[in-house]
């Protein structure tokens, strides 16, 4: 038998130890003692921020369940937590990092605001494949924060330019929404009309921002659009606006993958998506876990 050097014997023992642990079904956690020659796990991109977002989501889900005015948001938060947890586990994040904690009702509004910031911050850190989902989650969290605190506003950076095809797509969707809501506001009365006028103010602001970013590439505004239904009263006006805002949210979310590798543009589109999701909420839509994607 050929004699082995001390280094070769240590290497063989290390491989044997690893094989024994694997055969026994024992998975090394991040804080487990190091076995010789077993490489340390490399954290995924933005791991700590993603884990923090997950724990904050779990805490929010526990907190809103205790508040009647937003208790219905719990289902969306639970879905967000499940999706985040699954994504992190699939990427090898140890289970011992993913345990959540409950929150008291007094903390919920502050948690919601902080989670919006956390959701925005993680966009530039996470792998590109996760960013569209995280951007949609951030938009949903903005809606929740606004529900919990009417004075709360998302701190938004200056808009960044999108790639021209994406910019043209979102502008076309925004202009179509403006036209339809103009019709709904003109053919409705009382509180419905007032809400329509307020919605138009927000939508026109989005159009102006999108046209400014396109500059000389901005196409002419079409003179008319086809509408999916006729408005004859307040009830039909509400149905039309609901349809238009759902289409707008989906159009914005549909462009998230196209800007996922450009964090400034992704943040801008996320803010526009949040604005559309907030309008949907004001017209009675339930909170979606991932606006435009579900």
**What is the tens place of the pLDDT at every residue in 72-92?**
899 999 999 999 999 999 999
Q: How many helices (H) and strands (E) does the chain have?
A: 9, 0
Q: Count the neighbouring beta carbons within 10 Å of the beta carbon of residue 225.
A: 14
Give the pLDDT of residue 1.
44
Give the pLDDT of residue 9.
40
* Helices (H), ranges, 24-163: 47-64, 74-90, 108-121, 131-148
Give the pLDDT of residue 69.
83
Contact 203, 181 (CB under 8 A): yes
- Is 23 a residue whose pLDDT tops 90? no
Contact 206, 181 (CB under 8 A): no
Integer Cα distance of 278 and 237 in angstroms: 18
- Is 2 a residue whose pLDDT tops 60? no
Structure tokens at 16: 């044997």
- Is 246 a residue whose pLDDT tops 90? yes
Give the pLDDT of residue 157.
76
Question: Which among 99, 22, 29, 76 has a CA at the least distance from the CA of 277?
Answer: 76
Segment 148-199, tens digit of pLDDT: 988 888 777 789 999 999 999 999 999 999 999 999 999 999 999 999 999 9
Integer Cα distance of 16 and 12 in angstroms: 6
Integer Cα distance of 77 and 83 in angstroms: 10
Residue in the structure block whose two tokens are 């289902």? 75
- Is 124 a residue whose pLDDT tops 50? yes
Helix, strand, or coil (residue 291)? coil
Question: Which among 182, 187, 193, 180 has a CA at the least distance from the CA of 245?
Answer: 180
Question: Which among 112, 185, 197 has a CA at the least distance from the CA of 150?
Answer: 112
Integer Cα distance of 248 and 252 in angstroms: 6
């Amino acid at each position: 038998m050929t004699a082995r050097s001390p280094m070769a014997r240590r290497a063989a023992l290390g491989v044997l130890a690893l094989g024994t642990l694997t055969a026994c079904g024992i998975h090394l956690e991040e804080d487990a003692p190091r076995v010789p020659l077993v490489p340390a796990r490399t954290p995924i991109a933005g791991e700590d921020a993603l884990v923090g977002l997950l724990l904050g989501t779990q805490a929010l889900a526990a907190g809103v369940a205790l508040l009647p005015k937003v208790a219905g948001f719990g289902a969306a938060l639970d879905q967000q937590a499940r999706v985040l947890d699954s994504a992190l586990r699939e990427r090898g994040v140890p289970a011992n990092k993913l345990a959540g904690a409950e929150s008291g009702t007094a903390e919920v509004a502050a948690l919601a605001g902080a989670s919006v910031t956390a959701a925005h911050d993680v966009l530039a850190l996470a792998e590109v494949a996760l960013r569209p989902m995280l951007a949609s989650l951030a938009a949903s969290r903005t809606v929740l924060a606004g529900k919990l605190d009417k004075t709360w506003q998302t701190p938004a950076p200056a808009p960044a330019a999108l790639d021209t095809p994406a910019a043209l797509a979102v502008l076309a969707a925004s202009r179509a929404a403006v036209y339809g809501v103009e019709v709904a506001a003109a053919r409705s009365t009382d509180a419905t009309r007032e809400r329509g006028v307020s919605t138009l103010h927000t939508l026109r602001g989005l159009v102006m921002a999108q046209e400014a970013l396109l500059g000389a590439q901005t196409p002419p505004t079409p003179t008319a659009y086809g509408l999916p239904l006729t408005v004859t009263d307040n009830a039909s006006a509400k149905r039309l606006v609901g349809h238009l805002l759902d289409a707008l949210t989906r159009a914005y979310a549909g462009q998230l993958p196209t800007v996922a590798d450009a964090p400034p543009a992704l943040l801008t589109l996320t803010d526009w998506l949040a604005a559309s999701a907030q309008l949907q909420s004001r017209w009675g839509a339930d909170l979606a876990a991932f606006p435009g994607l579900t």
